[in-house]
Structure 1
Amino acid sequence: MEKDLDVTPVKSISRAAAVLRVLADLGTPGGTLGDIAKATGFGKGTAHRILAALNDEGFAYQNLTTRRYHLGAGIGLLARRASVNEIGSFAQPVLMRLADETGDTAYIQVREGLRSVCIGRQQGTYPIKTLSLDVGQSRPLGVGSGGLAILSSLAPAEITTIIEANARWLAEYPAFAADKLPGLVRQTQSLGYAYVEGLVLPGINAIAMPVLGQDGHPLASLSITAIAERIHGDRALWLAGLLREEARQLSAALARTLSPRNAQETK
């Protein structure tokens, strides 16, 4: 018989912690709902409710392809933010270089299921700051330059599935609505990078490049935001080249530490 979910806050936290420990023990492959229920001793209904709550908070997520559950970036953000996350740790010097060289704000985002999550940000020296995204903030995948760079690097069928699944959430971002996002994806694929002009915030432009794994799937994205006149024309092309080289170097560094299975599971 399934154990009832205890209504006391302390017990609920204890059970959520038990699920998180199981996810941590399962490691990169993650686990099915059945795996997690068996390991915790909870019924599937209880385990599912806990996983749903953890997903809402960014502490767990479900891979849409494998249906397996994994620890979310929110855990890394709580544990000294993204410094414990391998991608975030490797990316920090990259963000510092980008911010130093451009004077603008540099970001790194990763994908978690249907959303993109910012796991790092570095401000440049230019006096007008464009802090359009906070560390830990999530958006529907495809919204903003970083999420658009990740989405556009996926297979066509997966892109369609994600847009359809996110349709209601995307409606909160009219410039990236479900009927407009496919066109932005095509534009990004044609350019080789994501270029967003005032679509998130008026007067703010952004440019992003995907960081690809050895299997060609996106591990993350690097992006730069600034006031419109700083990401335009020849300077936008220069920034795209800068991001492309940093993304290439970060991809190579991650390839030396992430196995093919690791890379697959970050999708």
Structure 2
Amino acid sequence: METPSAASGGVPRVFSVIRALGAVQAEGGRVTQIARSVGLTQATTHRLLQSLMAEGMVEQDERSKLYRLSIDFFALAASAGNPGDLRSICRPVLLRLCASLGDSIFLLARSGFDAICLDRSEGPFPIRSFTGDIGGRIALGVGQGALAILAFLPEAEREEVIRFNLSRVREYGVYDEVYLRTEIERVRQAGYAGRNTGLLEGMAGVAVPILDREGRAVAALSVGTIADRLNADRMPTVVELLKREAAAIGPKINPFDATLRRPAQSLAGSPAGQRISLPEPPGPAA
């Protein structure tokens, strides 16, 4: 039977192999390369790799014979580091912003070519929003939250969304490609999307993107209010609060969060995925 000291001595070896694999994750590593990196014999390194494979933490490409850390390894690390989903993480933020600003706060997440309202905290002022209630969705590019997400997507994805959504955003009567691209560039430079008035007279909205660890926009925090409450004097304060909260959320995002892959399905008990139909072009709040 292996003694406790021998068993504990194997733990550093296992982690040295894991760290060595992490350093060559993009291209993968051979046994000889990993053994040389960690200062172990090939036989010992091979045995450790096989043990890690048996636990599902390492995978080997059948053709190249290269070893890599498995997706299960990263899923385990992500779930251990952050067990909460995006809605759970953001719920206290929405309540805090709603209380401090006295306006309605929305959490929007990307869902393909759309933005979907994952959550909202209602302020005292009656407003209308593009997404309506929780579960409502709108084309990326329409409304401040959806525009903030679109503006901070990687360039190739952004271009694909613009091509697909251009005919959809034109339905609102004030968008063409030049206008949309101008707005996207303005948002990218400012770091937020904000209008004192929008498609519905008297309404106003401002939103900032929520970026994951790779700098990709996966969601947005948005304020919806009446135009009188989002004047030039107050706008910087609101934007600063939103940016501060969004920056704190980003590092907490679990890249394996199912909410980010299937936001509509995460809305148990909510009108998930429903499109809000309004008789007039909806307001700009979310």
Q: CA deviation at 1:266?
A: 4.3
| Amino acid across the alignment from 1:119 | L
Residue 149 of structure 1 corresponds to: 148
Could you say which structure has the larger radius of gyration?
2
Residue 180 of structure 1 corresponds to: 179
Contact 1:141 1:148 (C-alpha < 8 Å) held by counterparts: yes
| More divergent stretch after superposition (209-218 vs 152-161) | 152-161
Uncovered stretches (5+) of structure 1, i.e. residues with no partner? 1-84
**Partners of 2:117 and 2:261 in 1: CA distance:** 14
**Partners of 2:133 and 2:174 in 1: CA distance:** 20
| Per-residue Cα deviation, 1:189-235 (whole angstroms, up to 9, x for no partner) | 12110112322322111000111000010121001011111112121
| Per-residue Cα deviation, 1:103-152 (whole angstroms, up to 9, x for no partner) | 0000000001111101111012x3x3214132111111011010011000
Residue 206 of structure 1 corresponds to: 205
- SS of the residue corresponding to residue 135 of structure 2 reads coil
Residue 196 of structure 2 corresponds to: 197
Percent identity of paired positions between Structure 1 and Structure 2: 31
Q: How does 1:1-267 map to 2 (within 5 A)?
A: 86-124=85-123, 126=124, 128-132=125-129, 133-254=132-253, 258-259=254-255, 266=261
| Amino acid across the alignment from 2:242 | L
Misfit runs of 4+, over 4 Å: none
**Partners of 2:156 and 2:89 in 1: CA distance:** 31
Q: CA deviation at 1:262?
A: 5.2
Alignment RMSD:
2.2
**Partners of 1:175 and 1:239 in 2: CA distance:** 26
Contact 2:106 2:120 (C-alpha < 8 Å) held by counterparts: yes
**Partners of 2:257 and 2:134 in 1: CA distance:** 23
| Per-residue Cα deviation, 1:8-27 (whole angstroms, up to 9, x for no partner) | xxxxxxxxxxxxxxxxxxxx
**Partners of 1:266 and 1:213 in 2: CA distance:** 13
| More divergent stretch after superposition (219-228 vs 173-182) | 173-182
**Partners of 2:136 and 2:232 in 1: CA distance:** 29
| Per-residue Cα deviation, 1:80-100 (whole angstroms, up to 9, x for no partner) | xxxxx8111211111100100
Uncovered stretches (5+) of structure 2, i.e. residues with no partner? 1-83, 263-286
Contact 1:170 1:178 (C-alpha < 8 Å) held by counterparts: no
**Higher relative contact order, chain-length normalized (CA < 8 Å, sep 6+):** 2
Q: How many residues align?
A: 177
